[in-house]
Amino acid sequence: MNVDKGQIPSFRVHPLGFYYLVLSSGEVTRRLHVYGGNAGFSAENTWHTHEFDLHSSILVGSIENHIAEFISGSEGNLTEFSVDYADGKSILNETGRLGTISELASFISIDGQDYFIKAGTIHRAKNIESPCVTHVSMRHQGCKIFSYGVEEAPFVRRQVNATEATELLEILSQNNLLSST
């Protein structure tokens, strides 16, 4: 899996603290995720679900995933948000449910390993070794997307800036993930 140097400006920032490049889209979307050491754009609400089944192959580094359930109740301190997308922004809308997160399991995946997370599963991921590069295949299932946290925080999925592009170029180059052409 190599990236052409000309694709670097097409990377975007994700609210969960990584850069991503869409490689293909359709029923199955393929992306490259790059977790660098300098991401200053990570959202507060890290617990979330996906509308797709996620299959991730770790190319470089390691990542830790946590799987949880949302326990609804007025004594909880977390708000459930439904997530929509408009004009390149992630928009969070309160569902009216408060509750807590109860972690069910966690696992670490290292370079050369794959992992799978089913659509609708509440999880959060954090790279534990930087950089971390993953090749992700997402089979769309059409599930509603949720995020869990303390406040609504719209996020613009902008293209990388010059500093971020330099970081990406360095990470991909040092890990032999740039095509030679």
How far apart are the C-alpha atoms of 17 and 99, rounded to whole Å? 24
Predicted TM-score (pTM) of this structure? 0.88
Q: Is the pLDDT of residue 42 over 60?
A: no
Q: Which fold has domain 5-174?
A: Jelly Rolls (2.60.120)
pLDDT in tens, 164-178: 999 999 999 999 998
pLDDT number for residue 3: 86
pLDDT number for residue 153: 63
The ranges assigned to domains in the chain are 5-174
How far apart are the C-alpha atoms of 179 and 13, rounded to whole Å? 22
User: What is the pLDDT of the chain when averaged over all its residues?
Assistant: 87
pLDDT number for residue 4: 85
**Choice among 10-19, 101-110, 154-163 with the minimum mean pLDDT:** 154-163
Q: What is the arithmetic mean of pLDDT over 45-60?
A: 90
Q: Please name the helix (run of DSSP H) or strand (run of DSSP E) that holds residue 165, with its range, or none.
A: helix 162-174
Structure tokens at 26: 């359709």
Q: Is the pLDDT of residue 128 over 60?
A: yes
